[in-house]
Amino acid sequence: MPFMKPYMVKLLREQFPPGTRIRLDSMMNDPQPIPKGMTGTVQGIDDAGQLLMEWDNGRGLSLIPGEDDFSVVKPQKLKLYMPLELGYYEKNDWGDYESEELTLPDSDAVGYSDTGNAYNMCWDRYCTPKKMEYYHRMLAVRNVKWVGHAMAKGLCSARRSESTSEVQKAVYDVETPGLFTDNLTDNPLWGDVSKCIHTEHTFENCLHGASAAAKVAVLYTWESNAFFNNEQMHYHRASLKALLDKLMTNNIPIDVVPSFETNLSHYDVIFALWPSMMPDPLWQALKQEIAAGKQIYFMGPPAYVTTSGKDISAEFEKLTGSHVTAVKTYFGGYEYPAWDFWFTDKIIPMNIYCEGDEIIERSCGNVHYYGYEAPLTEAMIDVIENLSDYKTIDNDRVISKVYQRSDEKIITLTGRWSCKINMRFAFEGNDIEIQNGTLILISAEKNKITKLLSSGGAQIYINGIRSDYEQI
């Protein structure tokens, strides 16, 4: 059997703990193999990386990763729950709030709700009505569903504010008590929430059945976090957020692709941040797209292993034309960790991957490898420039997205933060000019504008003629 490195054995033990159900696909190198399709239960993994099995037919023949083909038997129905706990402050006998925060689990919280449900939401670490309104505009433009606030009627996860003006600011800090009234049903922020949700529903109804035909994909390989399982994993999150932000704010349509997706053929460009550990089918799909000439960007640590334990480091080196010989530490500042939750108390030194004394930054044909957190650096300027052909519009003060539904094209737009939409652009054979816009949807079919939605105050001109619109 192939040599199994200690870290790979460790990964296998984490991936296939005792009790894991396995289905055999093939066992080629045993004179008396287990029949194809037989299921069994993992009893443990030895130091050589063999899966010690108890097969349903009574045999105990071990599985050898890399030689035998097998898969995990998934449950017929899987329900995932996120525990929700609410913090609250009780009043003492004198009517004042106690200084110690108490915790109420979700099972108890639902009893305080009119509907018997508790909801969870995140606006930001420091919520303001303007931030909330902006985030909801973003959700409407990108047709993303929103989940509600972690409060139940009669409860409060923050201290009561005695100042009405402070309450209206709706400042919320997860580390120190925020500013809410003790009766959440009277919180002035809820009126703003209602308006925001109405806007989202309006856009959702207009976009029903439409899809975005993005040509740029960003792989979300959460398995790489499991591979490292240390504080460096926070760079994976920070890089991912930075990459998504920079692509989105440059109006480059993207799909965030989960690691179980294997059909990547309809993308021209694929970003694979932290390819350290990937599912075997995804790694094979990536190699196919590389062979087909697609532009592939690897960033961060190199690829080491697949989830089945296969060592792919040599393959990665051949594809990227790079050979990591040293891992060094960079203590300098970065663009994004300053506002990332995990980097507020300290800057975690970042790993950089080098060949000799040189930081790896190399292109090998259509494969590009940056041996550092490129999305957090100015290196992304050149990457974004190379993707300029994929932009829906060329205006960094506006965020947009284009959808397709049969012969109908739809574009949604909103200004970044407090920016207004003031621009002129072509859309489906029409000359569009927008003045003082905030949130807009334009639909066209066979070069004819069929629908205009806008928040109030905007002026929209279609082919030089001012047009009426349905106000959101």
142-153 pLDDT, tens digit each: 887 654 443 333
- 250 with 191, same domain: the answer is no
In our burial notation (b when 16+ CB lie closer than 10 A, e otherwise), range 170-203 reads bebeeeebbbbbbebeebebeebbeebeebbebb
Q: What is the mean pLDDT of the chain?
A: 79
Q: What is the CATH number of the domain that holds 381?
A: 3.40.50.880
Query: How would DSSP label each residue in 135-191?
Result: HHHHHHHHT------S--TT--SSPBPS-HHHHHHT---SSS---B-SSGGG-THHH
Q: Which of 358, 389, 420 is the last residue of a domain?
A: 389
16 vs 297, higher pLDDT: 297
Q: Assess if residue 339 is contained within a domain.
A: yes
Average pLDDT estimate for 33-47? 88
- 41 with 114, same domain: the answer is no
Q: Assess if residue 1 is contained within a domain.
A: no
> With pLDDT > 90 as the criterion, what percentage of the chain qualifies?
42
- 412 with 377, same domain: the answer is no
Confidence of residue 94 (pLDDT cuts 50, 70, 90): low
Q: What is the CATH number of the domain that holds 40?
A: 2.30.30.30
Burial of 219 (0-12, 13-18, 19+ CB in 10 A): buried
**103, amino acid identity:** T
Q: Assess if residue 77 is contained within a domain.
A: no
- 341 with 282, same domain: the answer is yes
205-218 pLDDT, tens digit each: 999 889 887 999 99
Range of the domain at 465: 394-471
Q: Which of 151, 179, 206 is the last residue of a domain?
A: 206
Confidence of residue 14 (pLDDT cuts 50, 70, 90): confident
- 248 with 375, same domain: the answer is yes
105-122 pLDDT, tens digit each: 545 544 544 444 433 344
Q: Which of 206, 225, 247 is the last residue of a domain?
A: 206
196 vs 429, higher pLDDT: 429
Which run of H or E residues covers position 84? none
What are the strands of the beta sheet with 408-415, ordered from one edge? 398-405, 408-415, 439-445, 448-454, 470-471
Number of domains forming the structure of the chain: 4
**60, amino acid identity:** G
pLDDT, residue 56, reads 84
Q: Assess if residue 15 is contained within a domain.
A: yes
76 vs 296, higher pLDDT: 296
Average pLDDT estimate for 32-40? 87
pLDDT, residue 232, reads 83
281-340 pLDDT, tens digit each: 999 999 999 999 999 999 999 999 999 999 999 999 999 999 999 999 887 777 776 656
